[in-house]
Structures are given as C-alpha cells and as structure tokens.
Chain A
C-alpha cells in the first residue's frame, strides 16, 4: 500500500520541533532542549504508524458531536463585576490588565 502521507513517517527534523516549541511559546534550556527533542522524536516515531493506515476515501472525524445550528438569541446577559474579573489578574492596573510594555501588533 502506498503511504498517502510520506512526511508523517519521516523523522521530525530538529528545526521543525524547535519551531513547534516557539509557536507554542515554550522555551527550554539547551540541555533540557536536547533531551526534550530526543524524547519528542521517539514519541512521534511511535505515532508514525498512522501514516501506514489506508484512509483512502475516508472523511476526517473532527468531533463525535452530530449537533448543528446551535444558536443563542441576541440578548444581553450580565457581565462579570470588574473586581471579580481582575481578582485573578497578576497585575491589575486602574481597571485594566497590566502587561509588559509592548508596541502595537500581534507577536
């Protein structure tokens, strides 16, 4: 059987692992990083059996939920009290969530 997804069986390259960590905003010390990467590769390698399963003509199953068209009416519900919202905040500031100074724009 032809593997429909050759890249899944290929060993993950270190750069891709590093990229996944960066995307997820996770950092590791260099030593930890090496051990982490090695273990990560071992885990991925064990999952690569998936690529060998014939899934031709099979639709993905993203959720077992068969529900559709679940909607709410456009009516207001009470918001949280601001004190309650900010009670768990690491840095409440004048009714805002304080964060390190950052110039505009995501990432």
Chain B
C-alpha cells in the first residue's frame, strides 16, 4: 500500500467508504471530488512530503471545514457551511492528509452512542445492531472499517476514547490545550479536546505531531511546540497504577477481566502494576454533567436563528422566533443539557451546583496528582461496558451517562488519555472489542503514546479487525 499514489489510496478509501455507508452511516457527507483533486495535487507535487502525505481521513462534523457543511450532528445547523477551517483540520491538510468527508456524531457531542445525531445513528462495524459509541461515532466506525487512515474527533468526556474502545481502534485525548480548539464547535470549553482515532498508536502519534502545538487563535492552547514522535521505548520498570474504582461496581465483569489480563501481559513485558485509589471517581459523572452542561448552555446560546442555521418563525416576535428556533432545532438531549446548564448557573443555584461541582472537580484532579506521585501512568478499562445495542439506553439518560464513568475523570483534570484495544469478548454471534485506557500526567502526551506504541509492538490486540472490514478488503 505504501507504494500507492495518493490518488490510488484516496480512490480506494472513497470506494470503500461509499460501499459501506449504507450499513455504517459513518459519514454525513463525502467530498469525493475535493479529495481526488487534492490527492492528484499531492501526486503532482515533487517537493518534500508531509508527515501525513496521502492519508485519507475523516473530519468529525464539529470541526469547521471551510465551505463544507459543518453541522455538528444538529438539525439546527443543517446546511451550515463554515466560513473558515479549524486549526487542527488545516494542519492535517497541510501535512498532506486528504479529507474524505464529514463524520457523523451525536448532536454537538451530547451522547455516547451516536443516537443523538439528527441524521440517524452510525453503526458498529463489529455488529451492525450495536452502537459504535459516541460522540465520535462515525469517526470510530470509519477507522474500524478501514475506510480512512485516521479520523479527527473531539473528546469532552470520553467522545474519542469510548468509541475507539467500542470499535477496537486506538483513540487519544491529548492534554487540555495541547491541540488548538479553534474551529472546534464548542460543547464545554474547559473540557473540549480535539483528539485522534487511528488503527494503531503510531499513526495516532504522527497525526498528533502534525496537529498539536501553539495557536495564537486559541488563548487556552499551550505554547509548547507540537508533539514529537515518541521514541521507541520498553515497558521495563514502568509503574502502572490500576485504580480499584475502575474495576468496581458498574463495570461489566467480562470487560474487567479482559483489562486485568492485559495488565498481566504488561507485567510480563516488564511493567510493574500497582493497585491505587482514585477516591472521588464515584462523583465524576455528576461533576462532569453539571460542569459540562453549564458550559454547554452558554456555548449553545449563539444558536438563535439570527445569523445562521435553521429559523422557526414562532409567534412572530424576535424572542418568539428565538424560542421556536431553539425548541424545534435542538434534539431532546441537547435541550436537556441546556436546561440543566441554565438551571445550575441561575441565581440561587449557582453556588450550590456549579461552584460545588468545580470544587469536586478539583478533588478529582487532586486524586490524580496524588496517584502520579506513586505511578507513572494509570490504566484501566475505557468503557465499563461492551458496545451495547442501538436503542438499549436511548430512553434513559442516566443509563447513558453511566457509560462515561471512567473517561470523565481525566477530562475534568485535563489529562492525556489513550484507549487501545486489549482483547475481544464474545457476545451472541459477535466478537466485541474491549479498550484499555492509559491516563498520564498533564503534558505527558508523548510518554503515554510511547507506552501504547510499545505495547502494540509487543502484542496483537490492535490488529483484530471486524469481519466487515476484511470482507471489504477483498
């Protein structure tokens, strides 16, 4: 494949993506003409090649891509063509990658199953009756199906890591601020991170190298240079903390067992596994939903039908138009989160809810700081459950939220976290992937990726592909 021209790769990817689309619904749109044109340009260009030369990739629908419909999975933004390109997308393009299309997602990132997309859910390549996870649903499905070489996603409370785990691919949420948020349609500004999904950690690292680094358009972007490719290292002597709370109640025993087995493999490779405590883990979901919803209610206040997006007339007044536009334009989960956010920020509730949650957030961050005094990295399951059936949780928000229990802590603390495949569990007729989550100290992005890459060099879990991907290969 490496001898293929960019155009050959892109054509193959387009053909596969289009053929699988009816089954996966990974994409909201494919830009075949643009992608082929770009690939031809790359082939014609004789200068030095970018780090991502000719790699076809998918762009999550909440990353602005100039001139292309960037709707964030929302009916309210149907038809919205961004007037500019997100820094992360631009940097991937500048490194020679070819954007194939826009990946499906839960509306504005609100969800863990893809079912909150206004344009219908994506499906899991391992079992089409199941969710690929969310909110980067299409991104994970497209990578797992082999349609793209990587995908840019976003992770606010697990939206890259959880679908990566459920689809059996590698997914990385960088340290907060490591990748510019400019052009990432905001969900919760203090939690949002642009992340990467790819078939293996090495690919993730090379993409991160291309898209990370300082950006003068994002005041929260770290001034550090872009991430360098992690030098190959061994796992010898690495102290891995396994949080007791990440294997406890609420975690599917089959998932826990699969991850425990992976930790044993890591021990055999020279790592030292230590039991640790992250005592405030139980409060992560509540904290996360209060903080993230507060910020979401604010970030989504701009959708008022004045400057862009769908407009509903309402009673004919300005405020009536705004209310009608928002009430019919947002899906149920978006409305729930906006209402929750407005509630916790409103006078009389602000201290008791919002400020209280921020204080607990600090306790959660402190748990990590204390743990990193004893261990180099923390590892456990990414998702407490296997990919669940579409429809299984969609009527019960609390059941859906519970799936974020193990990913939200690192988000609240702003830490780099990686999900790598660590085995399959047989359920019914399907083999379903399990993800191992690696959490590192703030800023230790390269280190976390180096450990993941070291493990993938010594193991084969990440090579498992769904039958659908193999069929498409033929």
Which residues of A come within 8 Å of B, CB atoms? Answer: 4-8, 12, 16-17, 19-21, 23-28, 36, 39-40, 42-44, 46-47, 49-51, 53, 55, 58-65, 67, 70, 72, 80, 84-85, 87-91, 97, 99-102, 107
Contact = CB atoms under 8 A, between A and B. Distances in A.
Interface residues of B, number: 74
A50 B358 contact: no
Contacts of B301: 24
A27 B324 contact: yes
A21 to B, nearest CB: 5
Given A60-B362, A63-B190, A50 B398 contact: no
Contact of B327 (A19, A28, A39, A46): A28
Contact of A88 (B309, B336, B338, B357): B309
Contacts of B359: 53, 55, 58-61
A8 B353 contact: yes
Nearest to A72: B216
B177 interface: yes
Given A50-B283, A61-B362, A67-B220, A40 B318 contact: no
Question: What are the 5 closest A-B residue pairs judged by CB atoms, nearest first?
Answer: A64-B414, A60-B358, A88-B308, A20-B343, A55-B359
Interface string B348-359: 110111011111
Contacts of A72: 216
A84 B356 CA distance: 43
Contact of B317 (A17, A55, A88, A100): A100
A63 B411 CA distance: 10
B200 interface: no
B360 A50 contact: yes
Interface string B130-149: 00000000000000000000
Contacts of B355: 60
Given A43-B398, A60-B361, A62-B190, A7 B349 contact: yes
A59 B318 CA distance: 41
Contact of B356 (A5, A42, A46, A91): A5
A50 B287 contact: yes
Interface centre among A42, A62, A87 (most CB of B within 10 A): A62
Contact of B80 (A4, A16, A63, A88): A88
Given A53-B360, A65-B414, A99-B321, A91 B311 contact: yes
A62 B360 contact: no
A61 B280 CA distance: 15
B351 A43 contact: no
